[in-house]
Every structure is written in C-alpha cells, then in structure tokens.
Chain A
Amino acid sequence: KQEVTQIPAALSVPEGENLVLNCSFTDSAIYNLQWFRQDPGKGLTSLLLIQSSQREQTSGRLNASLDKSSGRSTLYIAASQPGDSATYLCAVLYSGSARQLTFGSGTQLTVLP
C-alpha cells in the first residue's frame, strides 16, 4: 500500500531556531513530492515541489530534500519565525497513481516568540 508518514505530529520551538520536518513514503517509484503549509481554516499553500530526478529544492528560508532510495524527504526551515506556525503537509505523486496525491497527516508547527 502506498502511504506517506510524517513525524513528528506536532513540534514546538522557540523563535530563531532551525528545524527539520520529516516525511517518509513507502514506494520509491514517484513522479514528485510536494510540501504544503496549511493555516487553520484555510487552504493549502504550495511551498516546494521536488521532481523525481531532483535531490533538493530551495526557496528563501526553506530547503526540501528528497532521497528516493530511502523513501524520505525533509523540510528544513532556517531561523524560524512565529509566522511559520502552521501545519506542514507532505504529499507524494506516486507513479502509476494517475493524478492522485497521497498526503501525510501533517506536522503541526508552533514557533514561540
């Protein structure tokens, strides 16, 4: 069964700290992997998309890595700010799954001022 798991489910850090969110997937045959953030009562905002052939993507203070062989991706957030507080979702587009993204259950991040 093709699944996506995110650990931890919740994380609380003081402002300014660097942090890593983890995502693991069960099948290495993927098209791409996407990281989103979801704010309470709102939709999802796409942060980074990593194609199957790529190892990492960077946008500002965010860096996402992809290791297909181990079935893992990490989202690194540098110099965290209270505005980073949100739920972060990892989603995988598996090969052969047509167009269905498989989502993890998310990591709820709280950055304390």
Chain B
Amino acid sequence: NAGVMQNPRHLVRRRGQEARLRCSPMKGHSHVYWYRQLPEEGLKFMVYLQKENIIDESGMPKERFSAEFPKEGPSILRIQQVVRGDSAAYFCASSREAQGKLFFGSGTQLSVL
C-alpha cells in the first residue's frame, strides 16, 4: 500500500512563474490536506479537500493560491505569480475519515529565485 505521494520533490521557480504541486493520497483515503512549513516555523494548515469539494480553505492566502481535488487524478496546489516568500516545504496529508489519523507525504520543497 503506497503512502501519500507528492511530486515533484523539489521545484525551482523564478518570481512571477506558476508552481503546480501534486499529491496522490493513500489508497482508500478521500480526505486531503495541504500544509506549509516556512523556514524556521512550524507547519501551518492551508486547505482541506474531499473529492471535488473544498471543505475548508481558511488557511490559504486569498490571492494567487488555489487547490483542487478532482474526481480523477491527484490533488493539485497551484501558486500563481510566485514570490520569494512562497519558498517553503509544502506537505500533503490524507486520511480515511475526517478526524482520523493523518498520513503525510514527503513534501515538495519550493524555491523561488
């Protein structure tokens, strides 16, 4: 049973470009969460999705950031017009139930030049 798969592991973008981060949850998991870990800071919640629905996006910046979890395929976190402050590790997690144990992926390290 493969774990939560995130790709790419490392992503380098120049200011103004778009970043697309992908997450495939564990088999049988329909709840997906995105967290961000800024340098020298703890993990912060961004968004919670179920298939085709955004349930809670209260932790996601209102501009430039969007997330989706389509019926088929991985969850996507999209950051438009990236800035240096977006440089961070972005972690995806999934769970079988809404308040169940979370399983995390290895993260995507985004570096904005």
Could you say which residues of chain B place their CB within 8 Å of the CB of A98? 48, 55-56, 58
Instruction: Give the chain A neighbours of B4 by CB distance below 8 A.
Output: 43
* Residues of A contacting B58 in the complex (Cβ-Cβ under 8 angstroms): 98, 100
CB neighbours (8 Å) of A32 from chain B are: 99
For the complex, count residues of A whose C-beta is within 8 A of B: 23
How many residues on chain B are close to A (CB under 8 Å)?
27
- In the complex, what distance in Å separates the CA atom of A103 from the CA atom of B105? 16
Chain B residues closer than 8 Å to A91, beta-carbon distance = 43
Cβ of B42 within 8 Å of any chain A Cβ, yes or no, is yes
A80-113 CB mask vs B (1 if < 8 Å, else 0) is 0000000001010100001111111110000000
B93 closest partner in A (C-beta) = A44
Contact across chains for B48 and A99 when beta carbons are under 8 A apart: yes
Interface residues of chain B, those whose CB is within 8 Å of chain A, are 4, 6, 31, 33, 35, 41-45, 48, 55-56, 58-59, 91, 93, 98-99, 101-107, 109
